[in-house]
Every structure is written in structure tokens, then in C-alpha cells.
Structure 1
């Protein structure tokens, strides 16, 4: 950079001192850039872990690219800030004492970690060793911190949900009827009404094997299901079953070559009940053909098809009667020595909510059989009574379905509704499957952030370390004027050194001058110019 014609001879570079506000503003801008990158890392981690509970392979690659790029950008931002800080501090270091030509060269290249290490080996001064150690530790610490962030999260195979994005073949249960081949031995009777009734009751009792959820546990569409999960969900006024689907292999692919994924769909079906109850005033011990109940306005006699004895509940229904589509009337006699009760309930199994094609529907016969299933026996009762339309089933008081409700209609309603929904659910799990077009479930991944606290501490520590060190460097470097303008400005500051090895010298004189320069000692000066307020002369001064 050429010196302006002012009539004043400058030994080095003519310069002005930057204001403190400007220097601090630059520090804050660089710090805000680092904070923005750190916040972007937090936003990316939060978005992919909280907003995307399951991610595809392409989304996982996208996340890896983003988090890797941001981590590199954060490291570069801090390293750039630290390099600028050292670039300013090196002039303050040069102004502290006289240095050899070789050390000046190394100090001016101090923005390179390698040259800092070389400088540490070339000097015996403890301060230089400590500075080099600090810089090396700081740079390695940055990389260690960024690597530690990668240990605070993990991308794992999703074990709770599946991806539902691509059309494909899916397997669904055939719910047109209750298939009985798994419960009835004789194939000739497998399609009979007795076989259906027997199977329906068996499935209702089998449903106890599976777990039962509450309304707070209702699943989401796409959630993976296994037998350890709840099969049905019951609240205070209804029970629900959510249908399942499986991914089906293409016709050209062997079934054994495909990993089966069972997911919960949005299709659901519920069961409800409404009951009335009366106190049994005669025959309550279960040993009579008839019982007498107290009604309003008087007494009423009820026939009981079997003497079940005390401490049991007998459920009864007339399969020829219906209270509507999917609805059956079921009676219950709760026999006890102390307090006996009689119930009349209408149990309804609804239609499928969310069905979009005929294969999704549940047959009316399935719904009706499920509604009355708690009272059905099938083969066992057909030879004991003359009226084959009357079905009954007795449950000891020690069992769940025989537990006395003591006249509480809400308990009896939910007991029968639970049995009915259990029939539908177990039927869906055991019937043959249909392969239809749908959205095939696919394995995905999930991002788990295990240590948000560590991430916060690391990012906060890095950003605050940058701000603290840069502010401290600005305050220290204010003791001298830092040359600005790039290599040309530095060349003018070093002009006194360069004059000692002038190009017009002979080779012998230049060699001698170079030897003198190498052995000489220099100090950096920033002298104010008295006649020009705010102007400084920046140059290197040789020791006397």
C-alpha cells in the first residue's frame, strides 16, 4: 500500500486505530453467527426427533447431511474467530519485547497450528509454551466437543411404528364370518351354527390372554403391534378394537423371504351395552327352575334353563331374537346366598369406522354372534334343552366373567361389551387373510436424543468460550494499533527489515545483510503522529 503524500516521513505503515465499538461489534457479529449455527443444530435435532417420530432411509441421509454440515460449520466458525483473535494478538506479542527474525516470522504465521507448535519448540519461554499448549488444547477441545454431540443422539431402527408411505399389497383378516376350523374338530360341522356359537364363546374367553388398554392408551395409525400389546381398549362406556394389517409379499416373492410387519390401522369397531337390573327375591341360590324378581309395580317369575347353583352367573339369550343390526339381548342371573340379581342387557357391536372398501367390513352374523357370545355354548347345549334357540353359559364367581356385579348395571354393561369386542378381536387374529391393495408398512428409523442436557452444555460452553476469549483479545490488543489491509499492509510494517536486504546490493553484501538481519532483534512499534491526531506510524524497530 503506497503512503499518501503528506510531507511526513513514515517509517512503516500509516494507520488509524479502530474504535472499541467497531471492534466489539465485529466480535458480536461473529459470535451471533456461531450462536445461529448452534441453534440450527438444536432445531434440526428437535425437528427430526420430535416432529418426525419415524423417518425413511432418504430422510435419515438428509438428517446426517444436515447435522454433519452444521457441525463442520460450527467448528469452522469458532476456528475462524479464534484465528482472527490470534491474528490481532500477535501484534501485541511483537510489541512486548524484541524478537529474533526467525521468531517474528513464526509469530506472524501463528494462525497456523503447525507454526505455533514449531514456535513452541524454537523458544525456551514458558509463556510461549503455555500459549501453544492452550491453543492446541482449545482446537482439540472443539473437535472433542463436536464429536461428543454425536454421542448424545442415535438413529435406530424404529420398533414402535412403521412407515406408511408407499402403495403395496397388505394382508387383512377376512371378517365375513367366524371361521371355526381352529376350534372344531369335524370338518362337516365346521360351518354349522353350533360351531360358530361355540367358537364365538371360546374366542371371547381367549381374549383374556391378551392385554387390555384404556382410552389413554389408544394407538396411532402405523404403530407396530405384537401380542404383548393391548388387543382391545375399554373405557367406562364402550370397548374398541383397532384392526391390524400386515405387509404382503408380491406374487413373485416367497412369503418366508419377507419380514412381516403388523401395524395398527385407523379402522376401528366398538361394542356397547345397556342394562337393567332387579333384585332376586326367590330362588336366588340357583337351585330352582324359576326365580322371582322384584319389579315395579310387582313381582315377576323368570324361567332359568339350568340349575347352576350358588356363586355363579348364568348368561342366557334367545338367538332367534334381535334388538337391531349387531345387537342381541342377553339376560344374566347372578346366584348368591346373600344377594342375587337378575339383568336384562342389550349388547351392540357396531360397524367398522374408517372402512374404505368392502373387505374392511365385518359381517352382520359376526357382529350378532359377538354380541351374544357370552351366553353361547353351541354343541354343549344343543342336546340338553328342547328349544335350540335358547343358549346359556355359566361362569363361576371366581372367574372374571362370573364376578358378581351386585346390581351395578355399568359393571355388567362393560363386562358383556368386553366379551363381545374380544370375540371380534380374536376372530380377526385367527381368521384367514385377504391380500388387497393398500399402503404397505415398511421399516423406518427413529432419532433418539438421549442427552439434551449435554448438548446444551456443550453448545453453551463453546459459544461462551468464543465470546469471552474474543472480548478479552480485543481488550488486550487495544494496547497497540493492529495493521489492516492484508499482506501489503504487513509488508509496509516490515519495511525496515526488508531495507536491510535491498535488491540493489551485491550478492556478497546481500548475504552479509541477511546474516545481520537473521541475527538482529526487532520490536513492533505503533507510534502516534503528533501533527495528525489519530494517525499512527506502524513499523518494526531494530534493537539498538
Structure 2
């Protein structure tokens, strides 16, 4: 029998592991009767004898070698002296004293171990829950914050990236902890080669798991289980990554204001050339003022302007441009509203962009309009040379001077008369519809209207003010054409301008005699003229509220909650399964020293060789299959954890004292 052959001994001292026929001279082990000093002296004497037996060169400095120092040996590798020197290179110490050994024993109680395993797994789950809760709080905070600056966006992205990494790393560590718990149950339930056992002890590493797949490629059941484990780890990372797809930074209509240099519109004239601030001629301003008012319906939706339908007046529509609104409501009712307001904008051009962006300010101008209605009793077809108007007091007046009329048309006339410093008089001739020749011609409608434009409220700079001449031109815009006429045989008007609309246009639709509705339409035209002047006139730079581009966080909450539920729910279910499954055997601590002690029966067979060998090389030296199990004393009072080929596979480890 070889001196170093390992044999478990059964009997009274079955719990003790020793070498039979151990050699006496090498100080590998000591008898119980030897003192520590004797042991050390023997070890020292043995080392000195070994050194003395090795031929070495002279010591030029006369230094005495330490007890663990060996010079280079220039001997025949196959010689007996070299073999003895090789055997003594292995560091040898005596075992620790009996009292110290007893301190290393443990009482294995499954319930106590279950609590420890559960504490480790619950701690990881609570940490995951904390990170997921912080993720939800962060989403809600930045979503409620509204528009984010570029700096705030970077802070959000950094926080999201940090929390995602924390969740991801915590999931990786949690899965590794579960693998470290489960490996002991796996090792105890099967017979494994040394290479398989080496990889199973490192199963928490995905790299080792992939290598294990290569060993098990001919075992479909094991490949399926191990592949699912690897996919589970990857799936956890993918779920965390999908969180990045549950939100979006929307830049449309995401703007904020800061004090700075802005552009404000020049309000002293209606400029036909938006790029040049050269004062235009009066007729040019008149035409541009009318053109700008005519364009306002580009900003109105649901255009049902005062149509006659079975005697009912429909609404004019909903104002889409938030800077224009009625004084009281956002829509016009059947009776109509007579007042409008417009809020001026500050304009900002973003870097690298051609178009300017507006910020609607609190600088407001109000348009008040009022009309009285009279009947056109002659010439209401729009074809006669003479138009006769009958007023409410039954007096009549011939309007022979008006030339710009047409069948079923509506003519707006600016008389040049002012009803105040910022007020204009507008006459409206609306001819009677003649669609059905069998129905007698109805009366036409004559409206005498006044339109006034207030000063700008909230103005803080001279550039914010709207001059009186511009206000009057805006009030008269619906009747301006750029062409002036002198009325014949009519002394109430010196010069007038007029504009004719047919009933197919928004401004020429039949009002059915509703004076309030006509006043509202004229007021809307004036508001449109002012609004488009604000958009298209040249601008000057002043200090104001500068518009800046930002982003708005849009979160798809159902996907956020789904991803977080998968992470937390999957973590909890897996932790419960692992905890109860692994607890059936003794789960050793994942420590190199603890694992090395368990592997002693295997690696001790290598003798002094193999200190530089790889795991694969060492595993190749052991062709037999082994299992992780328990050796028990005769009475079952003492147990010993071991790895060996003679151990039987075990589902459950016995409770009790482990040495």
C-alpha cells in the first residue's frame, strides 16, 4: 500500500480522517503527544537535512538560508536526490490543536439555514423594489415637470441610466446568489466527473455555464435546463433594457421662456415688404391691412360662418389660434359676440433654424364692434343702379353713390369717418339671395357698424405700443381695397373705399339680418389683420421673454408597470423556488477557503504535484465520478461533509452536528 493512499476508516473513530502507514521522517503530520515546540524543531531539522543533502554552490555572502528557502538545484531530474528535493518543496504544517478544530464544527438545522438563505434573497429583492420605486418616482416627477431644458434632460437620462444599471447589476448578483445556493443541491443529487464538478462549483458564471453546455451536449434534459437558466439571466437584462423604450422625449410644442433678447413686431405701419422697414405709401398699407384680415380663416377650424339654414344661424367656428379669442367665449353662439382680443407675441429664432418661434405674451389689444341693421327695400338684388335703405324710423335714403355691388354679394364700405381716435365706421350692404325665382325677393340688409381698437395693455416698451393711425387702419381693414372713390351727390362721405365679397366666401355669407353676428365677423376681421401684421411685419430686437426649445417627457405607463412587474414578480417567484429547493442539503458558504477544505480529498491525491496545473488538467487525473454528500459516525451523532466516488446521491442531508 502506498504511504499517501487515502482511506476512510469506519468504526469508533470513523469521524477522523487519517493516512495509514504515514511516513515518520517527513513532518507532514504529528502525533498527539508532541508539543508545538517539538513539532517545529522536527520540521526545522528535516528541512535542514533536506537542504544539506542538496549540492549547491557556495554562499558568497555567508547568509544562512531561511527554513522555506531552496536554492536552484542542478541535478539529474531523474536522480533520487532530485526526487527527494521535489517531495520536500511542498509546504507542510501540522494540524491545528483539538480545541481549535472543535470551534469549526456546526449544527445543521434546515429551518435556520432556510432563514439565512431567505434573508440573502429578500435583501436582493428589497433592493430591486427600491430601485424600481425610484424609477417610477423619477418618471412621475419629470413627466409632471412639463417642459424640460436640455440640462434637465441630461440629468434625467443620467438618472435613468444609473437606476437601470443598478437594477441590472442587482439582478445579476441575485441570480448568481441563487446559482451558488442551488449548486450544492445539484452536486448532491448526481454523480459527476471532476470536470463537471469543477464547472458546477462555478455555475454562477455564465462563461462556465456555457462550457458546461459543451460537456452536456449529448444530454438534452441537462442542456434544456441549463439553457433556460442562461436565457433567464439574459431575459432579466433585456427586460431592464426595454424600460428605455417605455418613454420618449417629445420636442413638439415643448418650449419654455427665459429673460433675454427677443424680436418684437414693428407696429407703426403695415409693411408690404416683410424684410424692409421702409415706410410704405398709404394705399399700400390699406391693401396689406385688408389682405392680413382676409387670411385669418387660415387659423379657424369648423368654418360655418353665419349660414342661413332653415332660419337658424349657425356658429362661426372654433378659433384654433390661441392668441385670438372672443372676450367671453372660445366660440361664437347663434346670437354672436361683439368683442375680440388679441395677444401679441415675442419671437425667437433658434440656432440653425430659419423660421421663428413665438411666445404668446400678456400684451393684449381689444376689438369692440357694434352694428345696427336697416332694410334695403329697393335694389336689393344688387343689379339696380339705385339702392334704397329704409331705417328703423321709416325714413328712406337713396344710395346712388355706391358702385361696387353685385348680385347676392356683400359690400363693406369704409367711409373715412372716425368715431374716435382709434375707431372706424363701416357700412355693409348685403344683397338678398335670389336662388329661387318663384319666391318674391326679400329685403336686403344694411348694417351701420363701428369698430374700435384699444391701446395695448401690458406694454412695457415703446416698441410694444400700437399707434392710433395703425389702430384705425386695422379697424377699417374689412372695407379697405387701396382704391379711394368720391361719392356723387352724397355729402356725408368725402372719400370711401369698398370691398365686395360673393356669398361663396366666408365674409360674404348671408347673415340673415343678425346685427350681432355681423359685428362679430367685422371684429374678427380686424383681429386677423392685427394678428397677421404681428406675424409678417419686420421686427426689432428688445429684451423680453425669450423662447427656448425644450422637450416633454411622455411615458407609456402600462409598459413601465409591465416591465417592473416582470422584474419584481419573476425575482420573487424564482427566489422562493430556489430557497426551498436548495435548503434540502447543507449549503456551504461561497468562499475559496471553504470550498478548498471540501475539495481536500480530491486534490490531496495529487501529492506535491500540480501546483501550476489548470483545472482541466487536474480534472483529467480523476476519471471516476463523484458526488457531494455526508459521512456519518456509527451512531449518527457526528457528520462530515465530503466529496468522493463512494458517496451515494442524497436528496436530503441529515440534521445534526457537522465536524
Q: Give TM-score, length-normalised by structure 2.
A: 0.65
* 1:197 paired to 2:286: yes
SS at match of 1:381: coil
- From 498, 513, 526, the counterpart of 2:600: 498
Aligned length: 502
The residue correspondences of 1:463-502 to structure 2 (distance < 5 A) are 463-484=568-589, 486-487=591-592, 489-490=594-595, 494=598, 497-498=599-600
Q: Distance in 1 between matches of 2:390 and 2:630?
A: 114
Going from structure 1 to structure 2, the CA distance change for 1:18 and 1:275 (only over 3 Å counts) comes to farther
Q: Hey, what does 1:211 align to over in structure 2?
A: 299
Q: Hey, what does 1:355 align to over in structure 2?
A: 459
Q: Distance in 2 between matches of 1:27 and 1:173?
A: 66
Going from structure 1 to structure 2, the CA distance change for 1:282 and 1:378 (only over 3 Å counts) comes to same
SS at match of 2:418: coil
Offset, 1:163: 4.6
SS at match of 2:476: helix
Q: Hey, what does 1:299 align to over in structure 2?
A: 394
Q: Distance in 2 between matches of 1:284 and 1:528?
A: 125
* 1:115 paired to 2:208: yes
The residue correspondences of 1:271-286 to structure 2 (distance < 5 A) are 271-281=367-377, 284-286=380-382
Going from structure 1 to structure 2, the CA distance change for 1:491 and 1:538 (only over 3 Å counts) comes to farther
Q: Distance in 1 between matches of 2:552 and 2:190?
A: 59
Going from structure 1 to structure 2, the CA distance change for 1:489 and 1:204 (only over 3 Å counts) comes to same
SS at match of 1:436: strand
Offset, 1:473: 0.8
The residue correspondences of 1:294-373 to structure 2 (distance < 5 A) are 295=392, 298-304=393-399, 305-306=401-402, 308=405, 310-322=407-419, 324=420, 326-336=422-432, 337-373=441-477
8 Å contact kept, 2:195–2:619: no
8 Å contact kept, 2:349–2:357: no
Higher relative contact order (CA 8 A, sep 6+): 1
Going from structure 1 to structure 2, the CA distance change for 1:331 and 1:200 (only over 3 Å counts) comes to same
- Whichever structure has more helix as a proportion of its residues is 1
8 Å contact kept, 1:15–1:483: no
Offset, 1:420: 0.7
Q: Hey, what does 1:91 align to over in structure 2?
A: 184
* 1:135 paired to 2:240: no
* 1:542 paired to 2:644: yes
The residue correspondences of 1:261-276 to structure 2 (distance < 5 A) are 261-266=356-361, 267-276=363-372
Offset, 1:160: 3.2
Going from structure 1 to structure 2, the CA distance change for 1:103 and 1:166 (only over 3 Å counts) comes to farther
The residue correspondences of 1:172-191 to structure 2 (distance < 5 A) are 172-179=264-271, 190-191=280-281
Q: Hey, what does 2:310 align to over in structure 1?
A: none
Q: Distance in 2 between matches of 1:480 and 1:65?
A: 44
Q: Hey, what does 2:34 align to over in structure 1?
A: none
Q: Distance in 2 between matches of 1:507 and 1:280?
A: 125
Q: Distance in 1 between matches of 2:385 and 2:98?
A: 125
- From 210, 219, 239, the counterpart of 1:145: 239
Offset, 1:31: 2.4
* 1:429 paired to 2:535: yes
Q: Hey, what does 2:161 align to over in structure 1?
A: 68
SS at match of 2:369: strand
Going from structure 1 to structure 2, the CA distance change for 1:401 and 1:122 (only over 3 Å counts) comes to closer
Q: Which has the larger radius of gyration?
A: 2
Q: Distance in 2 between matches of 1:528 and 1:258?
A: 87
Q: Hey, what does 1:171 align to over in structure 2?
A: 263
Q: Hey, what does 1:223 align to over in structure 2?
A: none
Q: Distance in 1 between matches of 2:157 and 2:266?
A: 43
Offset, 1:53: 3.6
Q: Distance in 2 between matches of 1:371 and 1:280?
A: 25
8 Å contact kept, 2:194–2:619: no
8 Å contact kept, 1:212–1:234: no
Offset, 1:270: 4.1
Q: Distance in 2 between matches of 1:476 and 1:331?
A: 94
Give the unaligned 5+ runs of structure 2: 1-95, 302-316, 324-328, 433-440, 647-659
Q: Distance in 2 between matches of 1:484 and 1:49?
A: 45
Q: Distance in 2 between matches of 1:448 and 1:383?
A: 63
Going from structure 1 to structure 2, the CA distance change for 1:280 and 1:133 (only over 3 Å counts) comes to same
CA offset digits 1:311-347 (Å, max 9, x no partner): 222334443321x453334332322131322323332
Going from structure 1 to structure 2, the CA distance change for 1:366 and 1:102 (only over 3 Å counts) comes to same
Q: Hey, what does 2:626 align to over in structure 1?
A: 521
Going from structure 1 to structure 2, the CA distance change for 1:8 and 1:145 (only over 3 Å counts) comes to closer
The residue correspondences of 1:230-245 to structure 2 (distance < 5 A) are 235-236=331-332, 237=337, 238-245=339-346
Going from structure 1 to structure 2, the CA distance change for 1:92 and 1:247 (only over 3 Å counts) comes to same
Bigger Cα displacement from structure 2, 104-113 vs 236-245: 236-245
SS at match of 1:262: strand
Q: Distance in 2 between matches of 1:243 and 1:447?
A: 28
Q: Distance in 1 between matches of 2:425 and 2:174?
A: 80
Q: Distance in 1 between matches of 2:533 and 2:369?
A: 20
Offset, 1:244: 3.9
Q: Distance in 1 between matches of 2:506 and 2:98?
A: 102
* 1:82 paired to 2:175: yes
CA offset digits 1:16-41 (Å, max 9, x no partner): 43455665465444324323323433
Going from structure 1 to structure 2, the CA distance change for 1:395 and 1:488 (only over 3 Å counts) comes to same
